[in-house]
């Protein structure tokens, strides 16, 4: 796995998965006895027009994307989370061991921009 493949995996398996899980909960709350808050949000969402539901999906996807972006900025060192200003090193270990965030590669810059996104 290289840096670009990692970022693409984060888009698919974190951002997109979080979006789909959130939307699924809004559309059909899971479990035998979902909390009152979950049921109220589902009722509110169900009462929206299809256009407004599409807007909600867009906002949920944007929020999930912002979360992935924020995490990647921390891994890149562009967003500091400690007083020591240490550096995170992210390794993928498979058949070989690869540093996914070497100096000069910013993972957050590898994310597709909002204009590139289709869903």
Tens digits of residue pLDDT in 46-78: 999 999 999 999 999 999 999 999 999 999 999
Domains of the chain by residue range: 3-116
> What does the pLDDT look like over 87-109, one tens digit per residue?
999 999 999 999 999 999 999 99
pTM of the model: 0.85
Question: If DSSP codes are grouped into helix, strand and coil, which group holds residue 107?
Answer: helix
- The answer to whether residues 19 and 61 touch, using CB atoms and an 8 Å cutoff, is yes
> What does the pLDDT look like over 10-46, one tens digit per residue?
999 999 999 999 999 999 999 999 999 999 999 999 9
């Amino acid at each position: 796995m290289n840096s670009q493949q990692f970022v693409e995996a984060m888009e698919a398996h974190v951002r997109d998965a979080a979006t789909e899980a959130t939307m699924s909960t809004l559309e059909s709350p899971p479990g035998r006895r979902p909390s009152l808050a979950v049921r109220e949000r589902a009722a509110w969402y169900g009462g929206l027009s299809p256009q407004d539901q599409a807007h909600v999906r867009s906002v949920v996807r944007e929020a999930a994307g912002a979360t992935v972006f924020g995490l990647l900025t921390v891994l890149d060192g562009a967003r500091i989370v400690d007083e020591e200003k240490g550096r995170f090193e992210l390794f993928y270990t498979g058949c070989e061991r690869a540093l996914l965030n070497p100096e000069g590669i910013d993972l957050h810059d590898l994310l597709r921009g909002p204009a590139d996104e289709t869903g």
